[in-house]
Amino acid sequence: MVSKLRQTGALLAFLTLAATAASAQGVTITGLVTSDAGTPLASASVILDGLSIGTITRDDGRYTIAVPAARANGQPASLVARLIGYKSVSFPVTLTAGTPITHDFVLGTNPLRLGEIVITGTGTSSSAEKLGNVRNHVDSTAITLSNESNIVESLAGKAPNVEVTEQSGEPGAGSYIRIRGTRSLASGNSQPLFVVDGVPIDNSSISTTNFNPNDGLGSGEIEGTAQANRASDINPNDIENIEILKGAAAGALYGARAGQGVILITTKSGKAGATRYSAQSKLSFDDVNRNYPLQTKYGQGYYGQSPAMLNANDEGDPDPTACDNISNAFCRYSWGPDLTGTGTPVYDHANEAFVTGHTTDNNLSVSGGNDRTSFFLSGAYLYDRGVFEGPNNNYQRSTIRLKATQKLTDRLDVGGNISFADARGNYVERGNTTDGLQLGLLRTPPDWNNLPYKGPNGQITFRFQHPIAGDVTSDRGWNNPFWTLNEGVHNSQLGRVFGNLTSSYNATDWLKVNYVLGGDYYADERLEGAPQGSAGTGGENVGRITEGKIINYELNQNLSATASHTFSPSFAGTFTVGNTLDDRNYRQLSDVGRTLVAPEPFNLANTVTRDPTIDAVSEIRNIGFFGQATTDLFDQLYLTAALRNDGSSTYDRNHLRAWFPKASVSWTFSKVLPIPGVSFSKLRAAYGEAGQEPVPYLTTQTYSSVAFPTIAQGVALTPTYGGFGGLASSITKATASLLPERTRELETGADFGFFKDKADLGITYYHAVTSNVILTQQLAPSSGYFQQVQQGAKFRNTGLEMTANVRPVSRKDFTWEVGAQWARNRSTVLDLLGANFVQLDPTYNTPQEVAIKGQPIGVMYDLGFAKCGISPNGLGAVVADIDLATVCAGKPKGALYIGADGFPVLDPNQRIIGDPNPKWTGALHTALQFKKVSVSALLDIKHGGVVNNGTRGALTAYGTHKTTEQRAACTFDADGNTVCTGNLKTFGQGGWYDGPVAGPGAGTAVPIGANWYSEGPLFFAGNNEAFNEDGGYTKLREISVGYSFDTPFVKNHLGFSSVDVRIAGRNLYTWTKYTGYDPETNLGGATGHSLGLDYFNQPQTRSFVFTLGLNR
């Protein structure tokens, strides 16, 4: 170890001292590079392989290389021309001082990208055919065509088993990305590692609501607002390409940070030649893609009567103040009178809160350079005004990026890359909170007018059910949705700088040294203000401020040296050694202020009391050493072996280091086994290990100042008390030893090109076992502690991935491509350290999602109807008299038990009720180019996977859901029981819970009204199974038509080289059985593990996009 360090240290010193004198008496090489269609190719690189001397072709395709005399000794060399999308061509030359060389290249197109340099991370690269693992590459065009402002969302449908789920269509909402299934339960750490130009960046997503743990808001992803995932601070227009390292075999060199895959992003660089200017302006119109189905026939009340009539006095006079009393629950329901023909106005709550949003996105870039210098400068401003009424639904992002490189000497290149982002979002509350938009909007009875939400003098009039003017603090049940939209404040203001310094030194013809020093710093200021009079169970009624900031900075360096040598045409190899150092600091500083002094402003100084300040700091340091060797045999067999030694401050002090090996083989057997019609064939296999580091500070027992809670949120006492500093034992027991989680993955596959590469096919199978999985085990509270982080659980993910592309037409003026991809992942919990189940993060309870041994990770574990063969015979105390075994004799498994009264009953035992993981995912895309017209489209498919539509569960209980428009007439008898008539249904028949039934009441037709929807064993009784729906979908993600004007008129009179016009649609249509807003939704946020949860989440949007591009 030490000697290796000294070696690398010496290299670094050598690098800074080295300088080479150039000579004027060299060799000049000139020529022209064209495509096989005869078009001159600009920006193609032409280099002398091994000498690291080269240039880039100018706009006319011509190039000139000057070789210094000192390096021209009459030796043979290989002159290689390369351009992305074309097959590289090499030409042997002999370098003799004073003898000029001229050579023209003709490059054939290269749809399979064979021979292209592929960045494989930590300073290593390879070429496509040498990779032992599958390659997933997304280029700038694909990112641009997605019309997404968040690069994570732009990856939707781009690569097999790269699942992307946007939380909602709100401006600035983050997207969750998962590669090849869930492999860790680490909280907030489930996302792939994002690396930009060789430097890891932060992609966290943190809810402001988590700043307020004293109100029980520990799962803010579920209760607060949508939040950005921080990779969205990158301007997608700055990206040249993205390589997705899937699996442990591809990511092993990133060690304990690659457990969920690695996203390698390369930003655009300047190219030699004339300085280019490009201005692009995009305007899009966005609206809600589907409305929620609500009934508008029945009004507020219960038993068919309005609350006023239900509260009538003995004389039968209605009580108009019935809904002044919070305890009058009837005011919250829509089981009141039939409004048809009564003249009572009805309000369209499904539409009233939405407007047409719009997004503007303006980009300007300047780039250029010469053979020694290049630069790329861009500036962009994005403004997204969302689809909700009111001022609090927008996101804006300004970005500036400068990337420059300079060849200091023929052997030494240095570069710099700096990016600044300013991102500001205003969000609207959603989810499981009475302050949320959708909860208030969709539950409100149709005859209740939500407007105006304020009195004529701006005073608070009512929120939901309190029409008493001036009563500020009484609980309203839930917010008037317009109050939520206009008065509540939730914002995030972020400034971020990230970038790097790079240097690359060709010490000798065979040894290259790379050094990258990168940094990423941001400060994100958050404010949440609940104005006086808000609903909610955390003191929002008297006003509450949550204010704080997140500061994150990360420094990273990567030093690597690569030696390469070609021993003979049939034997070549490379050897890389390197070192990385990484230091990540995170700080959250926040306060909650309660009871506003004056209604405004929303700041802490304007509050009566303040909660204890939260100041949470964490620092993680990593030091890694790695080595990689590759061997090329007979120009067809490629072997790679690599090893990383990873040290992390998060491991315990007795195990500071861990090893991560990998090995792969790739065999291009088309070179020895020519098959007619098969132009390329390759077999590949790779094995690798990668992991996930533990959360820091788990190995020391500490004392805590966290408040003791009781009864309800917002009620607590702190250990520091009465002027004395106080502490209590942490509820978490320290863990003696922690190692990284480790995924061992074997991946094998094949790639084929057919008919001169007019078609291609790739297939990959993988088998990954993750061991040492870290999970939080609950301890017996009587032991003194609640929980302990323990290690040793085991997961398995296996899967299959396929891609196929056909290019039926590829002529100079007409190309057409159709591609498809398909993937599936099967996850299984192999070992859970004996725990019955472990709940996933962020914790959610209707339904909860868990890991259970033998089941897919993340199954929903909750209550459902009593069913034959599924429910235990004795159902427990609630329905102890049911002998299921007898009733179910001869009935199929899953038959619905029907009680004597004709209704199903709730099984009080928790069980697995659904799996949110899709059965398979896929995508279809096509691109057509005819002369100056380009057309493209992308269909994104998710098949299967449950989404729990809790929104429907709540709305059917409240009587506002469309399905409740068909209802029995209900009243109550002398004993207070609900008695209903009409709307007869038979469980198991006629489209009503179709399927087998069993039990004494099977086949009985029963009236269905409030007795079932509101009082039956459904959502509020804990029956979450009843609202599970098929969350599969097919989405028309992208469709676009573009035209490029580059006529002489444009060039000569307008002064542009081309003008591009494009009309596109984003998420224009979704085919799905899901009855909620959209099956692409998730309360679980952008970094949690819980999927498929929809409880008053915000809708998705669709967009029509118009783009104008001016290029020069």
Residues between 592 and 611 that touch another protein (CB under 8 A): 594, 609-611
Q: Tokens 């999308």: give the residue.
A: 85
Gap between the Cα atoms of 1001 and 342, Å rounded: 38
Gap between the Cα atoms of 25 and 508, Å rounded: 21
Q: How far is the CB of 840 from another protein (least distance, A)?
A: 16
Q: Which residues, numbered 575-594, are part of the site for another protein (CB under 8 A)?
A: 579, 581, 583, 594
Chosen residue from 181, 431, 538, 842 binding another protein by CB under 8 A: 538
Q: Is 73 in the site for another protein (CB under 8 A)?
A: no
Q: Which residues, numbered 293-332, are part of the site for another protein (CB under 8 A)?
A: 326-327, 329
Chosen residue from 23, 43, 96, 537 binding another protein by CB under 8 A: 537
Interface stretch with another protein, choices 70-78, 148-156, 530-538, 768-776 (CB under 8 A): 530-538
Q: Which residues, numbered 460-489, are part of the site for another protein (CB under 8 A)?
A: 474-475
Interface stretch with another protein, choices 49-57, 122-130, 398-406, 531-539 (CB under 8 A): 531-539
126 vs 579 by CB, closer to another protein: 579
Neighbours of 761 (CB within 10 A): 17
Q: Is 700 in the site for another protein (CB under 8 A)?
A: yes
Looking at residue 1052, the DSSP 8-state letter turns out to be I
Q: Is 849 in the site for another protein (CB under 8 A)?
A: no
Q: How far is the CB of 553 from another protein (least distance, A)?
A: 6
Q: Is 647 in the site for another protein (CB under 8 A)?
A: yes
391 vs 784 by CB, closer to another protein: 784
451 vs 608 by CB, closer to another protein: 608
Q: Which helix (H) or strand (E) holds 732?
A: strand 732-733
**End-to-end CA, the chain:** 53
Asked whether the CA dihedral 596, 601, 602, 608 is positive or negative, the reply is negative
Q: Is 704 in the site for another protein (CB under 8 A)?
A: yes
With contact defined as beta carbons under 8 Å apart, do 193 and 257 qualify?
A: yes
Looking at residue 874, the DSSP 8-state letter turns out to be S
Q: Is 977 in the site for another protein (CB under 8 A)?
A: no
Per the structure block, which two tokens stand in for 355?
Answer: 């407007």
**Integer Rg of the chain from CA:** 32
CA distances from 924 to 85, 188, 496, 500, 1032 (A): 21, 32, 36, 37, 16
Q: How far is the CB of 628 from another protein (least distance, A)?
A: 18
Q: Which residues, numbered 730-749, are part of the site for another protein (CB under 8 A)?
A: 730-731
Q: How far is the CB of 876 from another protein (least distance, A)?
A: 8
Where do the DSSP E strands lie in 757-875?
759-778, 787-810, 814-831, 838-839, 848-851, 859-865
42 vs 970 by CB, closer to another protein: 970
Q: Tokens 């240097």: give the residue.
A: 503
Q: Which residues, numbered 1037-1056, are part of the site for another protein (CB under 8 A)?
A: none
Chosen residue from 84, 402, 555, 1036 binding another protein by CB under 8 A: 555
What's the distance, CA 416 to chain centroid? 29
158 vs 733 by CB, closer to another protein: 733
609 vs 886 by CB, closer to another protein: 609
Q: Tokens 């007019």: give the residue.
A: 758
With contact defined as beta carbons under 8 Å apart, do 940 and 1034 qualify?
A: yes
Chosen residue from 467, 726, 990, 1003 binding another protein by CB under 8 A: 726
**Residue 663, helix vs strand vs coil:** strand
Interface stretch with another protein, choices 375-383, 454-462, 517-525, 1026-1034 (CB under 8 A): 517-525
Chosen residue from 418, 639, 715, 969 binding another protein by CB under 8 A: 715
530 vs 690 by CB, closer to another protein: 530
Gap between the Cα atoms of 241 and 700, Å rounded: 43
**Residue 1023, helix vs strand vs coil:** strand
Q: Is 683 in the site for another protein (CB under 8 A)?
A: no
Gap between the Cα atoms of 143 and 130, Å rounded: 26
Binding mask 195-234 vs another protein (x if CB under 8 A, - otherwise)? -------------------x--------------------
Closest among 116, 127, 53 to 83, alpha carbons compared: 116
Q: How far is the CB of 845 from another protein (least distance, A)?
A: 10
Q: How far is the CB of 199 from another protein (least distance, A)?
A: 12
| Torsion angle, alpha carbons of 218, 221, 227, 230, to 10 | 80
Q: Which residues, numbered 608-627, are part of the site for another protein (CB under 8 A)?
A: 609-612, 615-623
924 vs 1021 by CB, closer to another protein: 1021
Gap between the Cα atoms of 59 and 42, Å rounded: 5
Q: How far is the CB of 423 from another protein (least distance, A)?
A: 21
Per the structure block, which two tokens stand in for 66?
Answer: 């000057």
Binding mask 869-888 vs another protein (x if CB under 8 A, - otherwise)? -------xx-----------
Gap between the Cα atoms of 15 and 503, Å rounded: 9
Q: Is 557 in the site for another protein (CB under 8 A)?
A: yes
476 vs 1037 by CB, closer to another protein: 476
Q: Work out the angle at residue 435's Cα, subtended by the Cα atoms of residues 432 and 438, and round it to the nearest 5 degrees.
A: 65
291 vs 778 by CB, closer to another protein: 778
Residues 6+ apart with CB under 8 A from 950: 846, 1019, 1024, 1027, 1093, 1094, 1095, 1096
Q: Using omega within 30 degrees of 0 as the cis cutoff, is the peptide bond preceding 452 cis?
A: yes
Asked whether the CA dihedral 457, 459, 462, 468 is positive or negative, the reply is negative
1044-1058 burial by CB neighbour count: b if 16+ within 10 A, else e?
A: beeeeebeeeeebbb
Chosen residue from 451, 468, 672, 727 binding another protein by CB under 8 A: 727
Give the chain's length: 1112
Q: How far is the CB of 4 from another protein (least distance, A)?
A: 9
Per the structure block, which two tokens stand in for 168?
Answer: 């909602």
Closest among 515, 586, 520, 497 to 557, alpha carbons compared: 515
Residue 721 burial (10 A CB sphere; 0-12, 13-18, 19+) = exposed
Interface stretch with another protein, choices 456-464, 553-561, 846-854, 1038-1046 (CB under 8 A): 553-561
Chosen residue from 340, 459, 836, 1047 binding another protein by CB under 8 A: 836
Binding mask 767-786 vs another protein (x if CB under 8 A, - otherwise)? -----------xxxxxxxxx
Q: Which residues, numbered 8-67, are part of the site for another protein (CB under 8 A)?
A: 8-9, 12
22 vs 656 by CB, closer to another protein: 656
559 vs 941 by CB, closer to another protein: 559
> What pairs with residue 933 in β-bridges?
930, 1043
Q: How far is the CB of 787 from another protein (least distance, A)?
A: 9
Asked whether the CA dihedral 892, 893, 894, 899 is positive or negative, the reply is positive
Q: Is 274 in the site for another protein (CB under 8 A)?
A: no
Size of the site for another protein (CB under 8 A): 95
Looking at residue 1046, the DSSP 8-state letter turns out to be -
Interface stretch with another protein, choices 199-207, 334-342, 711-719, 922-930 (CB under 8 A): 711-719
Interface stretch with another protein, choices 259-267, 391-399, 701-709, 789-797 (CB under 8 A): 701-709
**Would strands 716-717 and 741-754 be described as parallel, antiparallel, or unpaired?**
unpaired
Interface stretch with another protein, choices 2-10, 257-265, 752-760, 953-961 (CB under 8 A): 2-10
Binding mask 910-949 vs another protein (x if CB under 8 A, - otherwise)? ----------------------------------------
Chosen residue from 70, 312, 366, 542 binding another protein by CB under 8 A: 542
